[in-house]
Amino acid sequence: MKTYGLIGYPLSHSFSKKYFTEKFLKEGITDHQYELFPIEDITALPDLLANNPSLCGLNVTIPHKVNVLCYLNEVDEAADKIGAVNCISIKSFDGENYLKGYNTDAYGFEASLKPLLSPQHQKALIFGDGGAAKAVKYVLDKLGIPYQIVVRKAMPNTILYSEVTPQILATHQLLINTTPLGMSPNINTFPEIDYEQITPEHLAYDLVYNPLDTEFLIKAAERGASTKNGLEMLHKQAEQAWAIWNK
């Protein structure tokens, strides 16, 4: 039996377990299982690996995407530049585990964003500058799309929501929400910008996928903007993890 799983804390709801359990059933993969491993402290990882010798791969979620790095033998280029890992492949050589870290969030975001880009999407506004923004910034840098980060509290190299002028919204026609604003159960929250300035030329992308239509996307769509939620990104990063584990 090959085991895959998710480490993080807490793990009250897991997209990954549902996704991979259904995938194994649908594709008739009977010798694989996906489990949840809620570890509060990353120092528990070596014992987890020792106690679960059938582990072949792990997904990583908060709060361990950064602090897991020191337990890895190698990281790929994207994970290194982003400074965060959400997928680990586990290979065994001479009885020793070799752990390689990846960031499939970047792959999922890029693969779901690129088909939607039009020539006018030459500059982006990124709402939030937390962990979720790391992969977004990496992808935009890779695609050559300059961006401005918008936050609630003043930080270097960012602007406040109150500083997002009509001129900025006119020149930054790719809008990306990396915050939890609008996520269930707080579905009535949204990035506080002047939605009257949004046009059909804008593309609004929300990393949130629950609900599928956040207030941010609804308000942007009401102004004629194209919209995209985070569900396809989630699916694509999961399939990329599966590809990595089966290399």
Residue 65 appears among annotated catalytic residues: yes
Cβ count within 10 A of residue 231: 16
User: How far is the CA of 101 from the CAs of 17, 98, 111, 245, in angstroms?
Assistant: 19, 10, 20, 11
For residue 47 the two structure tokens come to: 């014992």
Q: Which of 65, 134, 137, 219 is catalytic?
A: 65
Collect contacts of 15-24 with beta carbons under 8 A, ≥24 apart: 15/234, 15/238, 16/59, 16/238, 19/235, 19/238, 20/238, 20/242, 23/242
Taking phi over 0 as left and psi of -120 to 50 as alpha, with beta for the rest, 203 belongs to beta
Catalytic (active-site) positions: 65
